[in-house]
Every structure is written in structure tokens, then in C-alpha cells.
Structure 1
Amino acid sequence: MSTSPLSGDASNDPTEDQTGRFVRQPNGRVRPLSPHLQIWRWHVTMLGSILHRMTGGALAVGAVLVALWLMALAFGPDAYATFTGWMGSPLGLLVWFGLTVALAVHFAGGVRHLIWDAGEGLTPKSANALSTASIVIGVVVAIAFWAGLFMTGRVVL
């Protein structure tokens, strides 16, 4: 099956394209660019998917921070005091808050995927509702967790 336009149709000739819709591959073939966001209408399930991937990456950074915390704990009181000094600063608390949001949103997105894997919630309306709920619930849980930390005095600025 050929993806080339009909011969004689100058309006669809990829070799004469000035719009950037086509790209010449290393083998010399001219192929259309992937439609991606130029074609697909933005919807909340796309946001949920992108956030799930981004939060997974953020959690990898968080795992490094937890490993540094454990290393500081193993290296003695001076190293631990230095680490807690940095991570207890307003900037450090912002990093921990961001990682908490990433954890909660990623976890909620994982639950959403489990529901989809069970064959439920796959209609467009319910998929959109589940995606919105996973994002909102993740953010609300993270905010509630940190509000609890501040209200009990376990974290102070």
C-alpha cells in the first residue's frame, strides 16, 4: 500500500510541500509527519497519561533523595544534620511537597489503570471522569497530607 498522493495532484505532492507536513527519511522516502497534537483534540485522558509518565519520572528523582537521606543517616549525626537542614528549608519542603503530589497523582493514576485493565470505565465519558478524578484526588490527598503535617506541628517553616 502506497502513501504517496495520486500522480498529477500537485496540491498533495510531498516533494513540493512547503508546510512542513512531510519529512524525507534517511532512506530517501518522503513520509508524512505523525499527526500527534495537530490532529487529535486535547482531552483529559491525554493529560492523565502525560502526568502519569511525568510523576513516574519525578518519583525516580525522589528515590534518589530518599537514598541520600538514608546515606546521611548512615554517615552519622553531622551528615544527617546537614541533610535535614537542606531538606527542612523552605526550598527543601517545596521539593518534598512536589514529590508528595507526584506520589499521590501517580498512585491515583495507577488505580485508574487498574480499573481500565479490569475492562471498566472505558467509555469516553467514564474514561474522562476517571482521569479527572485521579488528578484531583491525587492533588487533594497531597494537600491534605501536608496540611496535616503543618497542623500537628511536625513540619514548620
Structure 2
Amino acid sequence: MSRSQRPLSPHLQVYRPQITSALSILFRIAGVATSLGIFLMVWWLVAGATGAEYYNTFSEILGSAIGRLVLFGWTLALVYHLCNGVRHLFWDAGKGLALESIQPTAIMVIVSSVALTLGLWILAYSTGGL
């Protein structure tokens, strides 16, 4: 059998996008983004340990519009990864695996991620943390 006659495995061109596949891909992206955010936290700790001048420079960078956007994205990735991770824990326990519950729990993950992220940022602004 020649190489061109062999059947191809199904791929993105065969399957139509579903919320479950989108959330699965986002879960992996959020995990990577959360891990990369650890470098931001290390930078913050090093800046604090180095001295006031370096810490002020760090604060100016993260206080800029782009810095806040990065922080917001990191917060959203962290919260989304947490919410979807809880969903996976339920799946590991054998709960919520029925087809009827997949889409509602996916929507619940999205809504709770956005709501918790916005809530955290509103709380941070109201206490003067940002």
C-alpha cells in the first residue's frame, strides 16, 4: 500500500469544533501561562529583596497598561485553570461524565472563571492593591 493511499487519522479538518475541545486546548494553554507567570512572581520577589529602587522600577512596569493587561491575563489563566481543574477532579471521581452535563459544566467553568477574575480585580482595586 503506497503512502498516499493509507487512511489519515481524523484531525481538525474532519471534526467540527466543540466546546469540550476548545476548553481542553484552553486548559493546556492556561497551564503554560500559569507556569510562565511564576517567572513574574520570582521577578517580584527578587525586586523586593534587591531594594526600593529596583522594586519601584518593577512596580512602574507592572503598573503600566501593558503590565496590568499581562497581570489580568495571568489571573484569568490561573483562575480558569483552577476552575477547569476542579471540573476534572469531579470527572476523576466519575461525576458529570454524562453527555447532558458536559456542556452545562463547560459553561459554568467559563462563567465562574470570568466572574472570579473580575471579582479578584475589583477586590484588589477597592483595597488599593493595584
Q: Same fold (TM over 0.5)?
A: yes
Q: CA deviation at 1:87?
A: 0.7
- Choose between structure 1 and 2 for higher RCO, CA contacts under 8 A separated by at least 6 residues: 2
TM-score, L = length of structure 2: 0.90
CA deviation vs aligned residue, 1:1-53 (integer Å, no higher than 9, x gap)? xxx6xxxxxxxxxx6xxxxxxxx4xxxx8533321222223211111111110
Q: Secondary structure at the match of 1:93?
A: helix
The two structures, once aligned, show a CA RMSD in angstroms of 1.7
Residue 122 of structure 1 pairs with residue 97 of structure 2: yes
Q: In the comparison of the two structures, how many residue pairs are matched?
A: 130
**Unmatched tracts of structure 1, length 5 or more:** 5-14, 16-23
- Whether 2:51 is the aligned partner of 1:76: answer yes
Q: 2:85 and 2:32 mapped to 1: Cα distance?
A: 14
Give the residue type in structure 2 aligned to 1:84: S
Matched with 1:107 is 82
Identity %: 43
Query: Which of structures 1 and 2 has the bigger CA Rg?
Result: 1
What is residue 21 of structure 1 aligned with on the other side?
Answer: none
Please tell me whether the aligned partners of residues 48 and 132 of structure 1 are also in contact (alpha carbons under 8 angstroms): no
Give the C-alpha shift of residue 134 in structure 1: 0.9
Q: Which structure shows the bigger proportion of residues in helix conformation?
A: 2
TM-score between the two structures when normalised by the length of structure 1: 0.76
SS of structure 2 residue aligned to 1:39: coil
